[in-house]
Amino acid sequence: MKFDELDRKMRVYETAHDICVLPKIFMVARIDGRSFTRLTKEVHQFEAPFDVRMRDMMTETTKHLMNCGFNVIFGYTQSDEISLLFHAEISAFDRKLRKYNSILAGEASAKFSLLLGDVGAFDCRISELPNADLVCDYFRWRNEDAHRNALNAHCYWLLRGQNKSVGEATKFMEKKSVAEKNELLFQNGTNFNDIPLWQKRGTGLYWEDYEKEATNKLTGEMVLATRRRIKIDYELPMRDEFSEFIRSLL
């Protein structure tokens, strides 16, 4: 059997179940760390509940994903997850889901592992969102999840610092209201409102234009050229303002 014939015969088994996202449908990728609790709390023992080193590695990984061949207009990271909003007209890889999932998981894993100096693996899944309202809802969901997780994490590690076991701290937190958790922190010297916004609301990355001095190759004169760069925002707006911010990017 000639190679071309064998290639056609076998290629179908790789592509028979290819799914392509329909035109005009928004795509958001969520890239999530695999077994990161163990990796960051046991193996490398990052500071709990939040560590600036972990934040910066996740931010740099997000930045890398925004520069690895996909038209990404917004990146968002909190904890061990990254969300990427693609341009509505993106056509890379014919919008094949298997390509987006495999490439983004691989790129994130490779970049983070280099930064960490150890193996850190990610998975990826794509949300297909038919309108701008659902795109806003998606990022509002992740933003609110960051807030909830931050409150729980600060309470949990406060209790662990008071020599409570994993089981005791977990049980103590069960059925506690948001107000009760805030009060727990306040009674122990922490006002949750004063905790940095990047811990409570995550970090956003988006493109901005800036002017840079350059040399006109024809005249040799110094001119101002407009360039693009990624802005890292550690103080994202909250609630409805955050939704409006996302809408402004679309």
Best CA proximity match to 151, nearest among 117, 178, 124, 176: 178
Predicted local distance difference test score (pLDDT) of residue 28 = 98
Predicted local distance difference test score (pLDDT) of residue 244 = 96
Distance in angstroms (rounded) separating the CA atoms of residues 78 and 144: 11
Predicted local distance difference test score (pLDDT) of residue 135 = 98
pLDDT per residue as tens digits for the range 89-130: 999 999 999 999 999 999 999 999 999 999 999 999 999 999
pLDDT per residue as tens digits for the range 197-226: 999 999 999 999 988 888 888 887 888 888
The DSSP H or E segment spanning 177 is none
Fold (topology level) of 3-201: Alpha-Beta Plaits (3.30.70)
Tokens 């909190």 correspond to 78
SS3 content of the chain, % helix, strand, coil (to 5): 50, 20, 25
Q: Report the DSSP beta bridge partners of residue 96.
A: 20
Q: What is the value of pTM for the model shown?
A: 0.93
Q: Which residues of the chain have pLDDT under 70?
A: none
Predicted local distance difference test score (pLDDT) of residue 29 = 98
CA distances from 8 to 15, 93, 147 (A): 11, 19, 51
Q: What is the residue extent of each domain of the chain? A: 3-201
